[in-house]
Structure formats: structure tokens, C-alpha cells
Chain A
């Protein structure tokens, strides 16, 4: 299935960073007023006494790919983990501000974290399949809720593996250990596993940083395929990657959101000097 893409001109402004323009994907044309599905306002975050995020405001448009870029330690992963409250699992963290998913504050005490995390899937930097079969990995999420029958589960597993472009490679070895897959396959399996929850938002935390270029290309293809059906927020170190696959780019620096705009705007006409310095490789 291809996203309803309207091909646009490859942006010539991208010449400023080394992008292989042949690989450049055409971004989906999304109206600027695309409805935000996640709305973050004035988000502060502390690890113990160390503040990691300072008053971040960001809207994540529905159905688009949002890339979070910035140097190491700038708070992009922390920000990402705030969206599905994965930071709750860390000792001694504090948070203020609001994170709304579909208008509902996810930090409201009445929110069921378990349900939140079903709606907001997450894929981590290092592939982390469970030491069980490929099938069981994908079926893990649905089984937690015991909603599906055997047949439905089979169908869902197949659908998710297909969505993650892993079906052809794994259809004959679903009952084999997921640990036998290559790193790239494992990461796609983790994406399939996250998709099996039928999430609204998919968070990708540097999903390619542990992979070789080949596997990276496959994941990028996959992200491209998933765009439109899922809202994707991905952290990346790789600016080319952000430029290739994202619709919106947010640049973080020292815990602050410096700039967030359409990707082509950020990469061609950044409004802040720090952004320009970063994407032109002066630091970072």
C-alpha cells in the first residue's frame, strides 16, 4: 500500500547538506493546518535535580512523520519518552507541563498508563525482541489484553509482519526464536510488535543507530510506508535521515526546543542561527 502521495519537486535547497538526492523521498503533501494529535505545552523535566527539558512546546501533526534532531544529550529521547510516560519507570524524575494525546492530558492521574502505552507504541534504539518466537513477539501486545481469538491473532500477526515488511522473510519460521534474526530484521520485528497494538502514535527512538546502512535503508522504507496510517515521532542523530523521511523536524538543543517546522523549511531556511549551525555541521 502506498501513501496517498502527491509528488513534489525535490527541494534544491537541500544541497547545503550532503543528501543523496536520488534517495530523497517525496514528502507527503500535508496541509499546514494538519490537526495535531499530540500537543505538548510548557514541558519541564528533571532527572533528580538536573533539568533535562525546559518549557518545550510542540505539536505533532497527525499521520505525519516528525523527526527530533539535535546533538547528544539535548533531551530529544527524554522528550520522546515523555509522550508515552516511559520516563515513569526511571527513579526520581519529575515533570511539569502538559502532554495531550487527542486532547487528553496523559499525565492526568486518572489516565491508565497501560492504555496510553497501547495507543502510543515505542521502538527503541537497540533492537530488543523478547527471547521467544517471532510469532510470540508480535502477538505479545494483543495477548496482554486477551481480546483476540486464535484466528484473529494469526491474521493480525501476519498483517503486522507484512506492514513491517518482514513477512516474506519470516513466514516460514514464525515459531523460531526471534534472536535468530539479523539486527535489521529484529528492529523491523520490534516495529511489527509495536504495530500489533494498533497504536495511534509510533515513537521511534533512533531506530537505525544500531544498524548497518542496508538495514537502515529498509527501516527508512518502512517508515515511509507507514506514514499516513500512523503518526510517527522519531528521534534521529542522522540529519540526512531526518531530511529523507520526515515531514516535520524539531531541533532540540540543551533541553530546549529551538525550532520546529516543515522539514524542508528547517533544512533550507532555518529561522534560528543554532539550527543553521547544527545542520550545516558546525557543531554536534
Chain B
């Protein structure tokens, strides 16, 4: 009976232990799965497409007549600008008229004939029937009553006349904007084959606050009358002609001439031939959309050429994006636009060149705009009502194309992989190519593995096969101790010691392995000639220790004489020589520095694993080989290495995984420039360092934030795949043995 009880206890304990072990294993798998699931969950919303919830639209009264309309950020008040120059503000909740303003101070009988709202909102360019043109800046501001109910009024409008000649010129095409103390206006007079660019400069007296406006008007001849035009930033402008030509202009530095830009197109694209219907700037005024007769929409942007002039580049073209394409509306915050047809619209994103789903549009619409917070699309209908349709844009600027393909960004000379997530202005477009980061990650790993894998593997072989007893244990423990150095220390070492020290010694650093290997071979040859009695004193692989002082002396000599050597051989430092002779750019914190610093982290890891792999080769095999008269080296190469190879490959891949995931060293020693270059003399930025740098500052839930999670997922996948492959190689190799 007693025995039974003890058996039961034993069984219980056994089950308990098995349960705990299983729980631990499952816990690890669960943790990894959870991590992956978390990353996926955070990144997945990027895949969502913009949606317009037409079914949840509401309709509000605004009034029928007018040239322009707009809404406040909360879409609770809407304004329209009438031909009489009256700004009418109405409450979109109850239809009440909140305010009326007459900022333009028109003469009797003078009417507004054309007006245009700047893409960022808040600036209206308006032309009168007498030929005068003004820029008006105003905002709709909220006011809170005693009961905290929100109501709205107009802010004080600032109106500046940039063309104040009442010569009766019929101006119907115009665009204007304000850049700090500069006012820009582009216009064309009906029937004239000319385009005008007006620059106004504001000078404010600091004492009196009085403003003085100086205005200068430039004109350029056109081959035909302008059909429409739009301003670019810094006074650039794009004119579309009724004969189909799209021309870019830019004032010279002193604002004396208005110069035409040459035009180019992306490979495979040709500008359409249909007459231009509309030209609209995207926010930031870095590029324009051109609507042509025949339902063609084009995206043009000025880009710098080698001689610092600009060319007008056709980046994208869409045939028949919607039925009866008439115009486009643009987002006030990002490079998102709405192609507007007779009875449908379509959301697009210019940078990625993407068009998304269609949505119905009431025929006879007067205007369409996206509310400042991009959450409501307002359609001003023919009956004077505004239809407010909830919009979810999600992340239209973050697409597969922007992450992984070359993109022609505004202001860049050519399509490129660019990571530049934030900029100084609100209209700045985040550039989120993951390619430089992936390249940087692989480059860092490559340059880290290049020196460390041979050292680690040869060292492991030496330790496992040639060293004996206490010496072997000592070497192994010491190398494993190295693995414990915190990577922040290595990063520090790389950035603040190695980088400046290596600066004028690259030749020596690159020659060092070669010189040391030659020295070892030479010494080995000499060693074989020594009398056996001498050699026997250093049995068990300890002979190699004699090499250490020699290595130290050689390395010291080579590194000390580095600058002199480079001067003597090349006449200048190697880095300067490479730059001068081969135009190889050089940066002090570069892949070689990181490779060396990261080598301290990777080498011990690979060494330890590879040493185990070598040592795990059954002793039977090496004994059989030795007993057959093989030398230690023959035994190592022919008998020990082949079966250990899977383990060695696995060790190297785990080293690769470590190098790919390493953060601190690359963060500190690379300079973190996200460039796509394999040049070892330049810096780079890895996925991991990028996460460390940017995630703390990324707005939660924004596109950049989610893109960072995507890059984390990519990094996770990369290391996971590498480690999985390592494990696969190892297990497969073991089965074969």
C-alpha cells in the first residue's frame, strides 16, 4: 500500500514537471506569436484604402450663388464668397446665417469675376470686373457663448491688392498664395497669350505696425491663351493651354525675367494632347495636377536639374479616372486629391501614383473640397446645399510603392529610395522608403560578418581541435566573456574611438588581416624547421600562443605607421585618395567602423556556437582519422569540418541574425544617414536604429508610426527567417549524420 502511495506521488510529480516544461515551451512560442501579432496589428491599418461614406452623408444649406466656398475645421460652419464680394457664413447645423463680411471694399458696380482658394485654405485670390486682383487672408474662428455653445465668425480679413489697375482687363484665370512676407499671384487676361506673375513684398514697420506692400509684375508670352494656371512654391507656376501644352515658368533670382522650364516625362509616359481644362496645385505647391479634355489627369512636378535649373516632369498620367473628368480637389494636408467627374469622384494619391475607389457625385455640383481635418468631403451642390460626406483617408501616402520602389518626390532630381520621415513645414511629405533601411541593415550585417566569421570559425576550430585541457577552457571562457560586453559600450567604442582613430589608417586596417595571416604562415614554416625537442615544449596547440606577441607587435607597428604609410604610398590619406581618384565618398562613421565594433559582438557568439559544433563531432571519427595516420589538420578538415558544417552554417546565420537585429552599435557608430549605398566608407541606417531613433517621436496611430511598425515587422521577419534557416540547416545536418 505504501508503495502505491509513493508511486502516485511520483506520477504526480512527473506530470507536474512535464506540465511546467510544456508550459515554458508554449510560453516561448506564445510570446513570439504575440509579438508578431502585435506588430501585424499595428501595421495592418496601413493596408486600408480610403473610403467615402456616402451613405452617412448629411446635407446642410449654404446658399446658391457664389464663386467659392469653404468649411471650418469642425465642419459646423460654412462660408461662400459671392460675386458681390460678400463673405457669407452660415451654420451648417441649423442653417442660420452667422456673419457677413465685405473684405474687398469694391467700387460701385465692381463685381468679382473669378476667385481661387489656395490648397492649404485660408488664402483667396479674387479678380474683379474692373481688372483688379486681391489676395484675401481670413479664417473662420470659433466663439464660445455663455452656455459654451460653439458659434463662428470671420477673423479680420487681410486684403492686399496685387493688381490695382482698374483697366477692365478680364481676368478669369488666377492663383495666389502667401509665403511668409511674400505674396504671389499668377494670372492671365482673357484672350491674351500671356501669363503674369506678381510678387508682393510686405514690409512691416515694427514701431507703427504699418504695412507697406511693394508689387512687381512679370509677364511671359505664351503660344496660345492660357486655359488655366497654378502657382508652384517660390513663384514657380504652371500654365495649361487650350491647345494641350503644359508649360512651367520660374522667375529668375532677381525677379527680372520669367523663364520657361524644359519639360520631360517619366519613361513610358507622354503628355496628353487634349486641351487643358484645369491646373491645380497640390498642398505645399510642389506639384500640380492637370485635367485635360478627354478624361486625362496628369501629375506634373518641377525637379532640379544638374545645372540647378528646373524642369517640369510628368510623373504620372491616368486615362479616364472618372466619367467626364472636369476638375480636381486637393487635400489641405497631404498629396491626396479627388478627381471630379460629372457624376462620380475618385480619391487619388499623387506621390505613389495611386487611384482608389469611386464614389457617386451629384451631377451639377459647384465645388468640392476636403475639410481641414480631412474627415469630411464637402460637395457644394447645384441647389445651394452642401453635402457633407464622412471620409476616412487612412494612409494613402503609405503604400507598397512608397516603401519599396523608387519614387519621384517633389523637389528631388530623380526617382529615388528616400527615408526622410519629417520635415520643417506642415505641408512636408514624409518619405518612407524602407529600401535604404533594409540595405543599411544588410550592409551593416555584411561588414560585421566579413571579418568576424572567418576569425570566429578558425578560432573555434583551433580551440576545439588543437587546444587542449585548461588552455582550451580558458580561451573559450574568455571569448564567451567578450560576448557579454554591452553593445552600448561597443557602440561607444566604435563611434568615439575607432572612427576617429581609423580615419587616417584605413590602409593599415585593411592590410592587417593579410599581414597577420602571412606572418602566421611564415612563422609556421619556420616552426616546422625547429628541432623537435623545442617544439615538443609547446605541444597541445600552445605553439600558437607564441604568435600573440608577434601579432601585437605587427599590428601595433602597422597601425602606428598607418598615416605615414598612406602618405608614402599614395601621397595622401587613403580616403582622400579614393575620393580624388575614384570619387568614392567617405564618411568618418562608416560600415567598416561598425563592422569592427559589431565584430566584437558577433565573433564571440559565432565562436561559441561553432566551437560546440566542432566539439560535438563524435570523438570516434577524429580518433579513427588519427589512427589512420591523418595529421591534426587533415583530421580537422576532412573529418571534423564536414559533419560540423551544418552547425557551423547555423552558427554563422545566428551571427547574421544578431548583426541584423543589432541596434545600439549601429545607432551610435553609423551616423544614421539613411542612404542606399553599399560603399563601406559611408554610413548607413539600419531598421533597428531607425526604430530606436524615430519611434519615440512618431505620432501614435499616424502613418509614420505604423510604417515604423511595418519596418519592425520586416526586421522581425528577417531575423526570424535567418534563425529559422539556421535551425533548419542544423536539424537537417544532424539527421544526415
Binding site for B on A (CB under 8 A): 84, 86, 89, 91-92, 109-110, 114-118, 121-122, 124, 126, 128-132, 140-141, 144-145, 190, 193-194, 197
Q: Which residues of A contact B737 (CB under 8 A)?
A: 131
Q: A109-B533, A114-B631, A144-B634 are in contact. Are A91 and B620 (CB under 8 A)?
A: no
Q: In the bound complex, how far is the Cα of B621 from the Cα of A194, in angstroms?
A: 13
Chain B, residues 570-612, CB within 8 Å of chain A (1/0): the string is 0000000000000000000000000000000000000000000
Q: In the bound complex, how far is the Cα of B737 from the Cα of A141, in angstroms?
A: 21
Q: In the bound complex, how far is the Cα of B443 from the Cα of A184, in angstroms?
A: 53
Within 8 A of A (CB), among B619-637: 620-631, 634
Chain B, residues 627-657, CB within 8 Å of chain A (1/0): the string is 1111100100011001100000000000000
Q: A114-B630, A131-B642, A131-B643 are in contact. Are A109 and B532 (CB under 8 A)?
A: yes
Q: Which residues of A contact B624 (CB under 8 A)?
A: 124, 128-130, 190, 193
Chain A CB within 8 A of B469 CB? yes
Nearest CB of A to B450, in Å: 30
Residues A117 and B639 in contact, CB atoms below 8 Å apart: no
Q: In the bound complex, how far is the Cα of B536 from the Cα of A265, in angstroms?
A: 43
Number of A-B contacts (CB under 8 A): 71
Nearest CB of B to A264, in Å: 31
Chain A CB within 8 A of B19 CB? no
Q: In the bound complex, how far is the Cα of B630 from the Cα of A76, in angstroms?
A: 24
Chain A CB within 8 A of B3 CB? no
Q: In the bound complex, how far is the Cα of B629 from the Cα of A145, in angstroms?
A: 9
Q: In the bound complex, how far is the Cα of B110 from the Cα of A236, in angstroms?
A: 124
Q: A128-B618, A128-B623, A131-B737 are in contact. Are A118 and B643 (CB under 8 A)?
A: no
Q: In the bound complex, how far is the Cα of B618 from the Cα of A84, in angstroms?
A: 20
Nearest CB of B to A190, in Å: 7
Residues A140 and B628 in contact, CB atoms below 8 Å apart: yes
Q: In the bound complex, how far is the Cα of B540 from the Cα of A91, in angstroms?
A: 9
Residues A126 and B623 in contact, CB atoms below 8 Å apart: no
Chain A CB within 8 A of B468 CB? yes
Q: In the bound complex, how far is the Cα of B17 from the Cα of A77, in angstroms?
A: 42
Q: In the bound complex, how far is the Cα of B470 from the Cα of A91, in angstroms?
A: 9
Q: In the bound complex, how far is the Cα of B282 from the Cα of A241, in angstroms?
A: 97
Residues A128 and B621 in contact, CB atoms below 8 Å apart: yes
A89, A109, A121, A131: which contacts B628 (Cβ < 8 A)?
A: A121
Chain A CB within 8 A of B529 CB? no
Residues A89 and B626 in contact, CB atoms below 8 Å apart: yes
Interface of B is mostly: helix
Q: In the bound complex, how far is the Cα of B724 from the Cα of A54, in angstroms?
A: 55
Nearest CB of B to A156, in Å: 14
4 tightest A-B CB contacts, nearest first:
A118-B629, A128-B620, A122-B627, A117-B629
Known: A122-B627, A141-B629, A144-B634. 16 other contacts (CB 8 A): A89-B626, A117-B629, A118-B629, A121-B628, A124-B624, A128-B618, A128-B620, A130-B639, A132-B642, A140-B625, A141-B628, A141-B630, A144-B630, A144-B631, A193-B628, A194-B628
Residues A117 and B468 in contact, CB atoms below 8 Å apart: no
Q: Which residues of B contact A194 (CB under 8 A)?
A: 627-628
Residues A86 and B630 in contact, CB atoms below 8 Å apart: no
Q: In the bound complex, how far is the Cα of B638 from the Cα of A132, in angstroms?
A: 10
Q: In the bound complex, how far is the Cα of B737 from the Cα of A117, in angstroms?
A: 26
Chain B, residues 461-497, CB within 8 Å of chain A (1/0): the string is 0000000110000000000000000000000000000
Q: In the bound complex, how far is the Cα of B187 from the Cα of A223, in angstroms?
A: 110
Q: Which residues of B contact A129 (CB under 8 A)?
A: 624
Interface centre among B627, B631, B639, B643 (most CB of A within 10 A): B627
Nearest CB of A to B645, in Å: 11
Residues B629 and A144 in contact, CB atoms below 8 Å apart: yes
Q: Which residues of B contact A86 (CB under 8 A)?
A: 623, 626-627
Chain A CB within 8 A of B736 CB? yes
Q: In the bound complex, how far is the Cα of B629 from the Cα of A175, in angstroms?
A: 23
Q: Which residues of A contact B634 (CB under 8 A)?
A: 144
Nearest CB of B to A186, in Å: 11
Nearest CB of A to B594, in Å: 39
Could you name 26 residue pairs across A and B whose Cβ atoms are closer than 8 Å?
Answer: A86-B626, A89-B622, A89-B626, A91-B468, A92-B469, A109-B532, A109-B536, A114-B630, A116-B629, A117-B628, A118-B629, A124-B620, A124-B624, A128-B623, A129-B624, A130-B621, A130-B639, A131-B643, A140-B625, A140-B628, A141-B629, A144-B630, A190-B624, A193-B628, A194-B627, A197-B629
Residues B618 and A117 in contact, CB atoms below 8 Å apart: no
Closest to B617 in A: A131
